Structure 1
Amino acid sequence: MLQAVGVSKHFAGVQALREVDFELRPGQVHTLVGENGAGKSTLIKVLTGVYQPDAGQLLLDGEPVAFGRPLDAQAAGISTVYQEVNLVPSMSVAQNLFLGHEPRNRLRLIDFPGMQAQARELLSELGISVDPRRQLRTLGLGVQQMIAVARSVRARAKVVIMDEPSSSLEPREVETLFDVIRRLHERNVAVLYVSHRLEELYQICDTVTVLRDGRVVHSGPLADIGRLELVATMLGRTLSDEGERTVFAGEHDSAERTVLRGKGLRRRTVLDGVDLTVHPGEIVGLGGLLGSGRTETMKALVGLQPLDEGEIEVAGKRIRAGSTPAAIRAGLVLVPEDRKAEGIIPNLSVRENIVLAALPRLSVAGVVSKRKQREIVDTFMRRLRIKAASPEQKVGELSGGNQQKVMLARWLAMSPKVLLLDEPTRGIDVGAKAEVQALVDELAGQGLGIVMVSSDLEELVEGADRVVVLREGASVAELTGDQVTVDGVMAVIADEQR
């Protein structure tokens, strides 16, 4: 139904796609996988008219097509559901569903009652329980994502491309999404499904194409390739290949029994008594449900969340709560959950983002040493395997995994004593995730104290030496040794809720 033949695309010194052959068949649920930077997003943008290929061609129903803009692709029957909801929040659900295709009455005016009736019927068919008259902005992000899916279904598209559609959905909503995909399959609609969650791919997809460095390295039935083999194909190496071992953190005195201590952290309506200790070389996980105070605790430790009560010590020395400069000087740094809003500065270069925190150390009488900048940037780009055309490329142009590495490089360049990681692998593919996880283990092995938040319980228990469970802003349990299991964390949460 939709085919790319020998498609290549080049950007500012980077070959994003190299003679890619890809095809979507009617009724097929096809997944596109690969590391961040492998070319997935670029291929999707070529298929949907955002980019035009430098070489090769697209075929729709066997006929050559050229999409000069996304609207051309939509008119041809290609609908896209993006990870970030692409709707109008000030309009109603019904208006969003029919935007640009509103039903008209005999006077050629918009038939609002008819539109609402059609919207109610469509939502009911898809199992989405929401009043079509409600403003979109009043709904949760997960429901908004399902409205975006419903809009694609309403358009009667031949091809539906879903880019991380489940990232904002609850488990119940994911099942609804899968029901929608099955209905599309029954209608012979071709579905391209992109997700970093392997369990989802094996549950809903029948075919897989693997991209690596802009090339197709595998394509075929998903049932014919196991998970470990799929990951190895994406990475181009075995999972046990740890690569170069390097020391990133500064020297730490292993005799220090506690490198971080937070005691009685309280802030009205947010934190209600969090106690936390971290030893050199230890990874401590913060577990709990959404809203339990995990992110708030991390921000409080580095002074981004003011405290009403509580004490914070780094390497045995008490620091002033509520002061980010004091935390950084003491060696306590945070890689935030939302790297786009709170981490990277997208319009600055990779170099500028990496050296940003270290600039005072690199300057003499206000003059920054270019040589020292270059040494730091070259070191961390090589050691963290940051993929960029050059250090001067804008960081906003990098893949999510490489943006995450740039943030890590920024703070590792400060030789911290404690590294706080809030959802360090969110939104990055399994290959980049494995690299980040291996790096975290290596940093701990060099004596760095690490606190990690992850909504993925398996990731949390696999990566942490201890897990402190939070509920309603308070630490309610600490799991160690054999207690650190998914079932163990879930049991604590369940017990505390009764």
Structure 2
Amino acid sequence: MTDATDSSSALMLTATGIARSFGRTRALVDADLELRRGEVHGLLGANGAGKSTLSRVICGLIKPDAGAITYLGQPLRLQSTREALRAGIALVSQETSLAPDMQVIENIFLPELGRPGRLSYARMRRKAGEILQRLGHEHALPLDEEVRRLSAAQRQLVEIAKALALDANLLIFDEPTASLSPTEVERLFDIMARLREDGRGLIFVSHRLEEVFAITDRVTIMREGRTVARSLPTAGLGQSDIIRHMVGQDIGMVYARRASVETGREEPVVLEIEKLAARPAVRDVSFSVRRGEIVGLGGLVGAGRSETAEAIFGLRPRTGGTIRVDGALIDPRKPADAVRAGIGMVAEDRRYQSIVPDLTVRENLLLAHIGADKGFGLRYGRRQRQLETLIAKLDLPADRLDASLLTFSGGMQQKVVIARWLLLEPKVLILDEPTKGVDIGTRTSIYAILREIAAGGVAVLVISSDFEELLGLCSRIVVISDGASIADLPAALLDEEKLTLLAAPRTSTARNTEFLRALTGEHGGTGFWALLEKNEIICLSSAASAGGVDIGVRPGEASRIDATQIPLALSRREPFFVPEADNRRSTILVPVRSRRGHDLGWVGLTLPGTSNLPPPAAIQAKVATLGASD
């Protein structure tokens, strides 16, 4: 509800009673939205709730069948997106509408290129610089670079700059973070905060509730084309409140607790990857997945996770390494080879990699069956009983199997893609960003499906940029950085902060390794950078002088503190050298913190013996410089 203290002069846009139908489908029934100046307003709802349709009505892409919109105190009746841009309303979507073969500066001023008269590139360059400076990213975009060479985050920045070049006052961000890493999301939120401070109105459409709480001031929630909660202050809401409005009921925990069943034995390894290479993106990746296990591939965008999955599935040529399924060596040169070996894969991009838009739901469901079956004809009947069981299990509408898949929401499309592989009863199922762009209810449903698949004995490999998702769903997480696997750890030992530190590109942690080398070069012994828990140590990197000192831990591995060679020092964590019981080693531990106070772990130095040790203050001063320069 709107606060009683709000003044009508602060209102930028009011939409009431908006309705829109597509054939027999009623996308919007009675949708309302209210946006103030200088706020970020969250527009939330499950897949198919009408969020994107309402956004496109506001920015002129779709004409409403009924309802009224008031903008800056005047009735708004848009006939096109051009009229919306003239009015100062712009859409920034996850799938950018840029011209890929044109330069950044040409894309920023794209609407001006069609106007009569001579263009002044000097003026455009000066204005682009002013816009980017206002956003705090004056050095982030090479203005002469072709857009197709930019990262997803840079392309999104071009979209925002293009909107500001038209002096847009109202910006709609439709799922803008779907393809961004956590660091890139933070940068986008910085930009959004600056736009809010400038007095602009921002509508933020997202399925990620943690982002909603991080950036929005108020939220409006939709369900089945209707507004069911209008202009609720975000500060007064909890996750369960939003979910209840979105799905009409309490759905409990998004992530069920990981089952800890003690069987007394380890299940057999189903998928084994050793020293996999598919250069330049994949250099040296090794891991295994056991029967009934869900393993995550974690890392930042561009680390080589998706490329690793593509190499396993035969979509990308390998330049080295081995792949084994059930102990048998396989050599997938194309996806059909991987499918026949018992591997299924749900690709990241549904629209372009997983579905055929012109086919029906039934035909999309049975695509993998056609590829795996070598018999004459389609032979759909062989899968009919399995199909009926899956339809019921995944809550797919049995009466719409012969409709186009494009008439379904993104979440329903994702269920269809997963069901396609389940029909083949794979030994291994790889899922790349399985919940990208789906609502909280569908995410919960997909997690339940994956747990059930694993319980049935399938080895499941999940790739996700959402670290919370990996931690909540997987039993182990293999961290990929710069095309190499650098850690393989139980999820129970990790949290988002630790996973972020582990996932940092090796190029960015090279400075820390160099620091350890310099430290041991000056004082001897072994230096290490680690994360410490009560009873465990996770080593991030280490360096040793000639001869070194064995400390019993290796980079990328977790160890029990009492199983290392320096248990006393790791337990006490004193700011001076602590000798071990046998007096053969002495260790000093110094905490590392960034300039913003974030915990970056501990730096340790272990030296032989107990005499001739350097002053602790000298080591502490050196470590302080490491954190200050972060």
Residues 435-460 of structure 1: per-residue CA shift (max 9 Å, x gap) = 21222112112222101111222211
Partners of 1:269 and 1:103 in 2: CA distance = 40
2:344 counterpart SS class: strand
2:269 counterpart SS class: coil
- Structure 1 segment 2-401 matched on structure 2, within 5 A: 2-101=13-112, 108-128=117-137, 129=139, 130-169=141-180, 174-219=185-230, 220-240=232-252, 257-359=268-370, 365-366=376-377, 368-369=379-380, 377-386=387-396, 390-401=400-411
> Which stretch of structure 1 is more off in the superposition, 416-425 or 154-163?
154-163
Identical positions, percent: 39
Count of aligned residue pairs for this structure pair? 484
Structure 2 residues without counterparts, runs of 5 or longer:
1-11, 255-264, 514-630
Shift of 1:343: 1.2
Shift of 1:364: 6.6
> Which amino acid in the other structure matches residue 225 of structure 1?
L
Assess if the C-alpha contact under 8 Å between 1:126 and 1:176 holds in 2: no
TM-score normalised over the length of structure 2: 0.70
Does the C-alpha gap of structure 1 residues 319 and 54 become closer, same or farther in structure 2, counting only changes over 3 Å?
A: same
Does the C-alpha gap of structure 1 residues 41 and 375 become closer, same or farther in structure 2, counting only changes over 3 Å?
A: farther
Match of 1:247 in 2: none
Structure 1 residues without counterparts, runs of 5 or longer:
243-253
Shift of 1:362: 7.8
2:414 counterpart SS class: helix
> Which stretch of structure 1 is more off in the superposition, 207-216 or 338-347?
338-347
Assess if the C-alpha contact under 8 Å between 1:262 and 1:275 holds in 2: yes
Match of 2:587 in 1: none
2:204 counterpart SS class: strand
> Which stretch of structure 1 is more off in the superposition, 89-98 or 462-471?
89-98
Assess if the C-alpha contact under 8 Å between 1:34 and 1:431 holds in 2: no
Assess if the C-alpha contact under 8 Å between 1:421 and 1:453 holds in 2: yes
Assess if the C-alpha contact under 8 Å between 1:145 and 1:168 holds in 2: no
Does the C-alpha gap of structure 1 residues 287 and 36 become closer, same or farther in structure 2, counting only changes over 3 Å?
A: same
Assess if the C-alpha contact under 8 Å between 1:351 and 1:377 holds in 2: no
Match of 1:250 in 2: none
When Rg is computed on C-alpha atoms for both structures, the one with the higher figure is 2
Assess if the C-alpha contact under 8 Å between 1:103 and 1:110 holds in 2: no
What is the root-mean-square deviation of aligned Cα atoms in Å?
A: 3.1
Shift of 1:480: 2.5
Partners of 1:306 and 1:139 in 2: CA distance = 24
Match of 1:451 in 2: 461
Residues 407-466 of structure 1: per-residue CA shift (max 9 Å, x gap) = 101101111121111121222233322221222112112222101111222211221111
> Which stretch of structure 1 is more off in the superposition, 25-34 or 380-389?
380-389
Shift of 1:186: 4.2
TM-score normalised over the length of structure 1: 0.87
Assess if the C-alpha contact under 8 Å between 1:103 and 1:114 holds in 2: no
Match of 1:486 in 2: 496
2:177 counterpart SS class: coil
Shift of 1:323: 4.5
Residues 188-247 of structure 1: per-residue CA shift (max 9 Å, x gap) = 4322111233233223211101112222221221222112321232222223389xxxxx
Assess if the C-alpha contact under 8 Å between 1:12 and 1:389 holds in 2: no
Residues 293-334 of structure 1: per-residue CA shift (max 9 Å, x gap) = 322322222222333443333234333343532321232111
Residues 18-58 of structure 1: per-residue CA shift (max 9 Å, x gap) = 21122223333211011122111111122222222233233
Partners of 1:103 and 1:125 in 2: CA distance = 26
Shift of 1:109: 2.2
Match of 1:248 in 2: none
Assess if the C-alpha contact under 8 Å between 1:270 and 1:473 holds in 2: yes
Partners of 1:56 and 1:169 in 2: CA distance = 35
Partners of 1:452 and 1:239 in 2: CA distance = 23
Match of 1:434 in 2: 444
